[in-house]
Amino acid sequence: MKTIKAIIILSVLTIFATTTYAAEVPRESAPCYATNGSIIMAENLIGDILTEVQNGLGYADARAKSNVIIFNAWLNGQTCGYSYSELVDIANNAIWQYRDMYLRPDFYINNIERVQTIIAPVIEDYKSGKITYTEAEFNARIAIYQSVNPVFNPDVEFAKDICYRDIPSVDSGLFIIARKLLLESK
C-alpha cells in the first residue's frame, strides 16, 4: 500500500513539475505592423500548435485550430486588446513558415550563406545605423531580385502598373532568411 501511494505521489509530482516548451513565433514571419506585445500574445495562444506543426501537423489543420483558439480568446476578452485579425495574421504567417521549414529544411540550411553574401552590404548599413529596418528590408529584397536578374531596376518596375511589372521569380523563403539575418544583426 505504501509503495502504491509513493508511486502515485511521484507520478503526480512528475506531471506537475514537467513544463512544456511551446514553439515561438519566428519574428521574421510577423507582419510589419505587428508589435512585440501582439507577437507574444499570439505565441501564448498558439505556441502548442506551432510545436505540432514542427512535428508534422498540416497547414490547414493548424490554421483551423489556431483560428478557433484565437477567436474564442477574442470573444472572451483574453487578447489584451489585440484584434482578432492581427493575431490571426501573426499565427498564419508563423504556421506557414514552420510548415515550409518542416517540408524543406535543406532549403533553409543551404541558403543562409547565399543570402548572407547577397545582402552583406545591406546588413552593414543597417548595423551601422545608416538605414532603418524598413529600408534594410526593402534593400535586401532588391538585392535578392538583382541576384536573379542583374538588370532588374526597382525604380522602373515599381513605377509600372502591377500587371506590367517584370519582377524576377524568387522563392519567398529567401526573403524570410533575409529578414531573419537582418533581425539577428542588430
Q: Identify whether 63 is part of a domain.
A: yes
| Predicted local distance difference test score (pLDDT) of residue 23 | 84
Q: Which domain holds residue 178?
A: 107-185
| Predicted local distance difference test score (pLDDT) of residue 3 | 67
Q: What is the pLDDT of residues 3-35, one digit of tens each?
A: 666 566 655 555 544 445 678 999 999 998 999
Instruction: Give residue 146's identity as a one-letter amino acid code.
Output: Q
| Predicted local distance difference test score (pLDDT) of residue 166 | 87
| Predicted local distance difference test score (pLDDT) of residue 140 | 97
| Predicted local distance difference test score (pLDDT) of residue 158 | 84
pLDDT band at 165 (very low <50, low <70, confident <90, very high): confident
Instruction: Tell me which of 48, 76, 103 is where a domain ends.
Output: 103
Contacts of 102 (CB under 8 A, 6+ apart): 53, 54, 56
Q: Identify whether 52 is part of a domain.
A: yes
How many domains does the chain contain in total? 2
**Residues 94 and 128 both lie in one domain:** no
Q: What is the pLDDT of residues 94-121, one digit of tens each?
A: 999 999 999 999 999 999 999 999 999 9
Q: What is the pLDDT of residues 65-84, one digit of tens each?
A: 999 999 999 999 999 999 99
Instruction: Tell me which of 39, 70, 103 is where a domain ends.
Output: 103
**Residues 73 and 27 both lie in one domain:** yes
**Residues 112 and 99 both lie in one domain:** no
Retrieve residue 39's grid coordinates: 507577437
**Residues 81 and 121 both lie in one domain:** no
Q: Identify whether 13 is part of a domain.
A: no
**Residues 156 and 97 both lie in one domain:** no
Q: Identify whether 8 is part of a domain.
A: no
| Predicted local distance difference test score (pLDDT) of residue 121 | 97
Q: What is the pLDDT of residues 31-63, one digit of tens each?
A: 989 999 999 999 999 999 999 999 999 999 999
Q: Identify whether 10 is part of a domain.
A: no
What three-state secondary structure class fits 1? Answer: coil
Q: Identify whether 34 is part of a domain.
A: yes
Whose CA is closest to 122, among 146, 143, 147, 149?
Answer: 143
Instruction: Tell me which of 40, 68, 103 is where a domain ends.
Output: 103
